[in-house]
Amino acid sequence: MILSMTGYGTGSAREGDTTVSVEIKTVNHRFLDLHVRLPRECQFLESDIQQAVRARIGRGRVDVGVTVQNAAAGGFRIRAEVVRRYLDAVDRLRAEFQLEGALDMRSLLTLPGVLETDDGGGAEPGPLLELAGRSLAEALDHVLEMRRREGEALKGDMIRNLESIEGATERIGRLSRDDAAGHLEALRERMDKLLPQAALDPQRLAQEAALIADRVDIGEEVARLHSHIVQYRQLVEAEEKPGKKLDFLLQEMQREANTILSKSGNLEVTGLGIAIKTDVEKLREQVQNVE
């Protein structure tokens, strides 16, 4: 089962007057890019939260937000010493630079540190740790469930594109075998037109045909494409976090398709090669969101 890197989940836990809520959002990223936002009283939880997230999510940008609510909080408290320092600073600026105007109440209340929440002393670290752990586990469960559902949808789309590549590869294989059989005859006809009166040396003709066949032979590329398709399907079916391996296989598929296009002069093979490249690009876009 594969996992998408897109997910969302929330969790909440309460004890007494204290409620801890966790919100997690995840999107695609090449590596694990973890960001945790915590209120001041929960800063000590950051390491534990990061460890818990890393244990369950291996890839993607992950944003974790934690909020704490205390029903016993008594509103806001004005920090008089901070206000006094701001007013002193304003007086010094007015005197030094001959400025006019005063600091009004509305502006003063928006300055950092003037107001603080009166939380009645706040929750104890022990209960906060336990509540945060419960709410984080719940949020992670929801995120992973969503990532699994999204992964199933991605898997279906990828299998359809893979089957399209497989069908085109099989058709190219049949056409390449027919082309190989026709190269000698085409060369013979060309030589007959150029040298109608001369007897052709069969050995020389065979050598020239072998050289041409070697330059245009795409049998190895077709075989490698088949191998990559088998490996891709196995990874999608059996591995939970195959994103990086799938991306590597797609690079190899694109390489084989390019080589086929450069070698073959068959118009139908060219069309099929372009179709393979198009499907590989579709798969590449899908794999960008696979963990």
**CATH number of the CATH domain containing 56:** 3.30.230
Segment 35-57 mean pLDDT: 92
Instruction: For residues 220 and 265, state if they share a domain.
Output: yes
Pick the closest to residue 143 from 80, 81, 62 (CA basis). Answer: 62
CA distance 125 to 284: 46
The alpha-carbon radius of gyration of the chain (Å, integer) is 34
Instruction: Look at residue 60 and tell me if it is in a domain.
Output: yes
Instruction: Look at residue 2 and tell me if it is in a domain.
Output: no
0.95 cut: is pTM over it?
Answer: no
- Which of the given ranges, 32-41, 104-113, 116-125, 259-268, has the highest pLDDT on average? 32-41
Instruction: For residues 137 and 173, state if they share a domain.
Output: no
Q: What is the pLDDT of residue 17?
A: 82
Q: Is the pLDDT of residue 252 over 50?
A: yes
Q: What is the pLDDT of residue 208?
A: 61
Instruction: Look at residue 1 and tell me if it is in a domain.
Output: no
Pick the closest to residue 50 from 67, 39, 70, 35 (CA basis). Answer: 35
Q: Tell me the residue range of the domain where 278 lies.
A: 150-287
- Copy the structure tokens of residue 168: 């085109």
Provide the domain count of the chain.
Answer: 3
Instruction: Look at residue 168 and tell me if it is in a domain.
Output: yes
Instruction: For residues 130 and 258, state if they share a domain.
Output: no
3-state secondary structure of 53: helix
Q: What is the pLDDT of residue 290?
A: 92
Instruction: For residues 158 and 279, state if they share a domain.
Output: yes
Segment 210-221 mean pLDDT: 72
Instruction: For residues 49 and 159, state if they share a domain.
Output: no
At 93-128, the pLDDT tens digits run: 888 888 787 778 888 888 888 877 655 445 567 788
Segment 81-99 mean pLDDT: 86
Instruction: For residues 212 and 280, state if they share a domain.
Output: yes
Instruction: For residues 133 and 261, state if they share a domain.
Output: no
Instruction: For residues 240 and 269, state if they share a domain.
Output: yes
Instruction: For residues 181 and 99, state if they share a domain.
Output: no
